[in-house]
Structure 1
Amino acid sequence: MKIAVVFYSMYGHMHAMAEAALEGAVTVPGTEGGLYRFPETLDPKVLEMLGATEVQKKLSSIPEVTLDVIKDADGIIFGIPTRFGNMPGQARAFFDTTGQLWAQGALIGKVGSVMSSSSTQHGGQESTILTSIVTLMHHGMVIVGLPYSFQGQMTIDEISGSSPYGASTITGGKGERMPSENELSAARFQGEYVAEIAKKLST
Structure 2
Amino acid sequence: MSILPLIFTSAWASGINSYAVVLLLGVFGATGLSDEVPEALQRPDVLIAAGVLFLCEAVADKIPYVDSAWDSVHTVVRPVAGAVVAALLAGQSGSLPELAAGAVGGSTALVSHLVKAGTRMAVNTSPEPFSNIAVSIAEDLGVGALITLAIFYPVAAAVIAGTLLLAGLLLLVFLVSRIRRFWRRRAERRAGKRLGQTVTQRSG
Give me the TM-score of the superposition, normalised by structure 1.
0.28
More helix by share: 2
Give me the TM-score of the superposition, normalised by structure 2.
0.28
